[in-house]
Amino acid sequence: MRTGSARSGLRLLMMLGLGVVLAACAPVAGSPLGPGAGHPAAATSRSAQTSETTMSPVPSATLPWDAGLPSVSSALAAAGAEGVYTAGGPAATASSIGLWAADWNGAAGTRSTAGWEAAAKNMSILIGNISTYTKWNVQLHSWNPSLITLAYNLGPYLQKGSQTYNQVLQAHPTWFAHGSHGQLINLPMFPQNYLMDVGNPAYRSWQAQQVAASIAGDGFNGVMIDSIGVDVLGHYASSPPVDPSTGGVYTTNTWLEDEVQLLDGDKTALHGGYLAFNGLVSGPQYALNSHILATSTADAGIAELFLRQPTYPVNDFPSTSVVQQTLEMMTDMGSQGKAFLAWSKVWVSASSADISRLETFVLSVYLLGRQSASYLDFMPSRDADNTVVAYSNLKDALGAAVGPYSLQGSTFTRRFQAGSVTLNTATDTALIEAT
């Protein structure tokens, strides 16, 4: 079986006969917007206590597509004295929580100018569709020069029926992942999305070039690659992918190591652009295997199931051990110079009071583990506009953390320059005090 070190020399960076064919990376309108929306159920609450099946400083290069906008490197230099950026991305100032928004859903298409301005000023990172954000990037960066905007990319999939899909299937059928009977693999939840073979170095090279070409001249600071991780090795895909080098199903480690090479190639192709990925999943998943993805050269990782599955009841809180694993994930990402993007979603009906209580709990855990480049997106409903700051505590001016969190029994505490956070996992109560 191949090892990660043996395969590290297989990265290729040339185009392979297709010319510049832009990948079909926009999610289907009205859908949960790509594979990343459907990670398998995570063991994050007391009702599911089993184990689950986790970035580097931005180089000083000018982004070729940033004409008229500050590049990542120049923005870093300009804002460094104000503490706006740190290694791994734009850090919130000491007086803010640190927010990002998954903005590739329908809300962006109907947002008012005032809404866009508020989004630019409230968020540190915005991730959206190319077709929508291309029209707004210049203005967004004008409103907030330190804002990072990232283009949504579907990840290692091609959408059936697209020109790119047809061309690649005809010219390079081995770039597609195949099942044990030689069949192509799609996602039952998103049947038009067909899985590619991340272990194929020629595909990885081509994909990296498409990622870079897709945002050339559009004013983005970089790209977010969705749907990274091992979901496809389980029930999520129509069939688990076979490793052509062994004839057997990909092992977890091999698939993740190949995805690291995919991300490394994407980062190289961006020539200093910012690269994030969605695939850390959660604290328990990070402890189990998704920490491997943090060894890539990507700048940031998203944990889409931060503390909960979207469909869990809002009063189903995580246990002490899950909270600890979540905090360890955040700490480890920070120690590697990576930005960490927490995403917690509520896709069930509940009273506003219950959702507010959950939001305070989620925010408290986030603040307990927050590093210099940590960001939170709390989504109170499935159709919520993620750029709207719906809770006043998301604007609390706590200042910088005085030190790390402490744990005594089931009570977590952390002190800040202008406040404190206390969380009790035995009573599911959280208190955020701003002084």
Going from N- to C-terminal start, the domains of the chain cover 4-396
- Tell me how far apart the alpha carbons of residues 431 and 354 are, in angstroms, rounded to a whole number: 15
Higher-pLDDT residue of 16 and 103 is 103
- Give the model's pLDDT for residue 217: 87
Least confident stretch, 19-23, 38-42, 101-105, 295-299: 19-23
Mean pLDDT of 420-431: 98
pLDDT value at 316 more than 90:
yes
CA distance readout (Å), 360 to 2, 46, 173, 202, 433: 46, 18, 49, 46, 11
**pLDDT value of position 42:** 45
Tokens 């689950």, residue?
52
Average per-residue pLDDT for the chain: 83
Q: Which pLDDT score, from 0 to 100, does residue 106 have?
A: 85
Domain 4-396 in CATH 3.20.20.80: yes
The pLDDT assigned to 93 comes to: 37
Q: How many percent of the chain have pLDDT more than 90?
A: 76
Mean pLDDT, residues 185-191 taken together = 96
Q: Residue 36: pLDDT above 50?
A: no
Is 176 within 8 Å of 197 (Cβ atoms)?
yes
pLDDT at 159 over 70: yes
pLDDT, residue 212, reads 96
Nearest 10 degrees: CA dihedral of 328, 330, 335, 340?
160
CB proximity list for 25: less than 8 A, separation 6 or greater: 130, 151, 152, 153, 154, 214
Residue 270 has pLDDT above 90, yes or no: yes
Task: Between 2 and 141, name the one with better pLDDT.
Answer: 141
pLDDT for position 411:
97
Question: 272, 218, 222, 266: which is closest to 59 by C-alpha?
Answer: 272
Cα–Cα distance, 32 to 44 (Å, whole number): 21
User: Are 387 and 123 spatial neighbours (Cβ–Cβ below 8 Å)?
Assistant: yes
Phi, psi angles (nearest 5°) of residue 267: -60, -45
Convert 334-363 to b/e letters by CB count within 10 Å (16 or more is b).
bebbbbbbbbbbbbbebeeeebbbbbbbbb
Choose the weakest-confidence range: 4-18, 306-320, 379-393.
Answer: 4-18
Question: pLDDT-based confidence at 269, cuts 50/70/90?
Answer: very high
Of 63-72, 93-102, 352-361, 414-423, the one with minimum mean pLDDT is 63-72
Whether 403 and 365 have beta carbons less than 8 Å apart is answered as no
> How far apart (Å, rounded) are the C-alpha atoms in residues 164 and 193?
12
3-class DSSP state of 285: helix
d(CA 211, CA 191): 22
pLDDT band of 299, cuts 50, 70, 90:
very high
User: Do the Cβ atoms of 174 and 204 come closer than 8 Å?
Assistant: no
Which residues are within 8 A (CB) of 317 and not within 5 positions of it... i.e. 6 or more apart? 45, 46, 358, 361, 425, 428
**Model confidence, pTM:** 0.81
pLDDT attached to residue 435: 87
Mean pLDDT score, 122-140: 97
What is the average per-residue pLDDT within 108-133?
96
Q: What's residue 235's pLDDT?
A: 87
Please report which confidence band the pLDDT of residue 382 belongs to, taking 50, 70 and 90 as the band edges. very high
Q: Residue 73's CB: how many other CB atoms inside 10 A?
A: 16
Please check whether residue 216 is in contact with residue 253, taking contact to mean a CB–CB distance below 8 angstroms: no
Kindly tell me if the per-residue pLDDT of 202 is higher than 80: yes
β-pairing verdict for 148-153 and 222-225:
parallel
Q: How far is CA 63 from CA 239, 297, 337, in A?
A: 39, 17, 21
Question: Predicted confidence band at 115 (pLDDT cuts at 50, 70, 90)?
Answer: very high
Residue, of 279 and 37, whose pLDDT is higher = 279
* Average pLDDT, integer, range 178-188: 97
